Amino acid sequence: MNVTINEEGSKALVTLEGRLDTTNADQFQKDITPLMTGSHQEIDVDCTGMEYTSSQGLRMFLMLQKTVSARGAKLVLKNMKPQVKEVFDITGFSHIITIV
């Protein structure tokens, strides 16, 4: 899983590429720490290159969502592949995370 974070003022542009599964979930958690501890008001995540997410990956998005909401900021996941979107839909995560 490749995580690229570009900052534009208070906005963070994140690009995700590859698979997010149990083998790299811990690394992913480290990679997105700047987003959790930072003060970005808007976080745009481009999921074009994201191939798969496991339930542990969902947990990471959930944690990110909760931290971001706690500081009153906005998290948006964009351009998600259908098979990845399906996981978010099945588990009901689409209800709590903004996916456009």
Partner 1 sequence: MSIKTKFSSRLSLYIVGFSALLLIAVMLLYGMFARSAIQNEAQENTEKVLDNTILEIEKVITEVERAVDNVDWLVMRNLGDEKFLYEITREVVLANPNIIGSAIAFEPGYYKGKPYFAPYTFTNAETGTTRSFQMGSEQYDYPVLDWYQIPKLLDRPYWSEPYFDEGGGFQRMSTYSMPLRDAEGRFVGVITADISLEWLSHKVATLKPYEHSYTMLIGRNGTYIAHPDSSKVLNETIFSGQMISMDEQAIAQARDMLSGGRNFISYKYQGQGRFTLYGPLSNGWCLAMMCFYSDLYKVLSIMNWIMLSILILGMTVLFLGSRRIIRYETKPIEDFSRAALSIAGGDFQTHIPEVKTEDELRDLRDSLSFMVRSINDYMERLKSTTAAKERYESELGIARDIQMSLLPTDFPQIEGLQLCALVHPAREVGGDLYDFHINDNTLYFAVGDVSGKGVPASLFMAITRAALRFVGAMGMNMADVMSRVNDTLCDGNDAELFVTLFIARLNLETGEMTYCNAGHNPIVLLPPDGKAEFLHARPNLAAGLFPGFPYQEESITITPGTSLCLYTDGVTEAERDDKRQYGEERLLEWMSSQPGDRSSAALVASLLESLTAFTEGAEQNDDITIMTIRWK
Site string for partner 1, 44-83 (x = CB under 8 A): --------x-xxx-xx--xx--x-----------------
**Least distance to partner 1, CB of residue 98, Å:** 15
Among 48, 74, 81, 89, binds partner 1 (CB under 8 A): 89
Q: Using the minimum distance from each CB to partner 1, give the nearer residue, 13 or 62.
A: 62
| Contact of 12 with 42, CB cutoff 8 Å | yes
**Distance between CA atoms of 78 and 72, rounded to whole angstroms?**
20
Q: Using the minimum distance from each CB to partner 1, give the nearer residue, 9 or 72.
A: 72
**Distance between CA atoms of 37 and 73, rounded to whole angstroms?**
12
Pairing of strands 2-8, 11-20: antiparallel
The number of C-alpha atoms within 13 Å of 75 and in the hemisphere containing its C-beta is 22
Binding site for partner 1 (CB under 8 A): 19, 21-23, 25, 52, 54-56, 58-59, 62-63, 66, 89-96
